[in-house]
Structure 1
């Protein structure tokens, strides 16, 4: 779900359903907070409306990838056990990174910060390389031994680390405060349950990209009517679906064009992004032909 304004007092909430296999928006539901009593309830209502719309159109939903919203978890667990529910890895890694940062600020625990990036990479690898949730959990739990330079584990599903021999690293010393607190964080029962449900194939980064595009059509610092907001959401979806699978742009030498970004959430680290060809606006011509 996307709120129409920053903070916790949103008036509108838009819920987007996207087919992650072909990167197309298939449904958008707009909910006003006074319909459901309060803004925190909009996400569950939007999910239920969108799921009902898809199934009424004859589509059988076999699996869905979302964030860890508690009410949606409960609904799918109790009311719809026939739908496989997966968690987006980025949302889990974002919360885990914050906890590692908080632990690193404690006294005698600063050395755990050196493992932050490796731990996040390991989380993505556990999700993408595992066939079952149990296998992903065993791979994840092995990190408590790995950071102590122990690479054989008491597990039938993952008895030994998959990496080649490593050079000297900033291994954590067993029985120290940093090591004990770090291991407790890694094998937290709630985190283990989340790791077991990580999506192995598709993530919701495309949905986040679509939410970023909506800012071009409906900025959060401008108030719109219900119909005005709905129309702008539909225009954003038309634009996104037309340009969702654009080809990558190339330089004059024929090599893929790459740009460097310095996102704020990476705290000084950079990321590389392939440039894409310019977007098209054929949907505007279709709308004009329809109207006139």
Structure 2
């Protein structure tokens, strides 16, 4: 179903003369094969958020191995390093791999080393006091071996060409979350209602995309100084640690006034409606076989 929906949507985009050069998806094997065989001119990339989820799953599993608990505090830095490699490599597969595997030196508190006859070094600045007191790993040791198996895995190395353009679908995930306000998954809607509710969600999203970080206007006991960007501290149960959230400008609904004005003009016959009923050609039953007579079906069921 997911593969068919992807193909229909993608073909519709191409039919409308859009030039698709890069396409980011999750690692769905069927979609991956389809893009390779039918759309080979498109640069297929993996969504970094979905890929990082697999790292966040593998790293805690490695921590649960015997004598590997020291890896726990490295999980967040490793995931951050993964994003940084994709953003910094500028599409270069070899540079991504070099930056990514440099992590195996950094976790051992080695920040300058020689590799393949060339001198290399970490690109970070001087470490803070907190960073200097990190639980550095030792080679060889169980936690280092467990980490090395993940960082230098054959699967990850083969996936690097799909990770070098820093494709993130976070904005789409935000839109999908916003759609639920108008089109709940718990209720069934007819086609016309689905289209209308989705359109309203799109209008609200487009009217609020690109909001700037809010600025502190009044000093409180927990806020930054006046004029500074606003943030807040949160402790999600899934993260198990305190994190910093960015506070953006409030959502605006100014686009609703344009919708109301258009509705009133159509109602007053000052504007012609171009709406087309989408339910005319939709069959009542989409099952592959004809609907039986209920009495006959019940009789067969009881016999």
Q: TM-score range by the shorter chain?
A: 0.7 to 0.9
What's the counterpart of residue 288 of structure 2?
A: none
Q: How many residues align?
A: 251
The CA deviation at 1:245 is 2.2
What's the counterpart of residue 285 of structure 1?
A: 258
Cα distance, 1:222–1:281 mapped onto 2, change above 3 Å: farther
SS of 1:58's partner is coil
1:92 to 45, 51, 56: 51
Structure 1: gaps (5+ residues): 1-40
Answer yes or no: is 1:119 the counterpart of 2:81: no
CA RMSD of aligned residues (A): 2.4
The CA deviation at 1:106 is 2.0
2:162 to 192, 197, 200: 197
What's the counterpart of residue 269 of structure 1?
A: 242
2:121 and 2:62 mapped to 1: Cα distance?
28
CA contact (8 A) 1:214 1:236 kept: yes
Equivalent residues in 2 for 1:1-292, closer than 5 Å: 41=1, 43-131=2-90, 132-151=92-111, 152-154=113-115, 159-166=120-127, 167-252=132-217, 253-283=226-256, 285-286=258-259, 289=262, 291-292=266-267
Pair member with larger Rg: 2
TM superposition score normalised by structure 2: 0.74
TM superposition score normalised by structure 1: 0.77
SS of 2:23's partner is strand
SS of 1:86's partner is strand
CA contact (8 A) 2:93 2:164 kept: no
Cα distance, 1:153–1:80 mapped onto 2, change above 3 Å: farther
What's the counterpart of residue 23 of structure 1?
A: none
Instruction: Tell which has more relative contact order, 1 or 2 (C-alpha 8 A, sep 6+).
Output: 1
The CA deviation at 1:71 is 1.5
Cα distance, 1:261–1:223 mapped onto 2, change above 3 Å: farther
Pick the structure with more strand per residue.
1
The CA deviation at 1:119 is 0.5
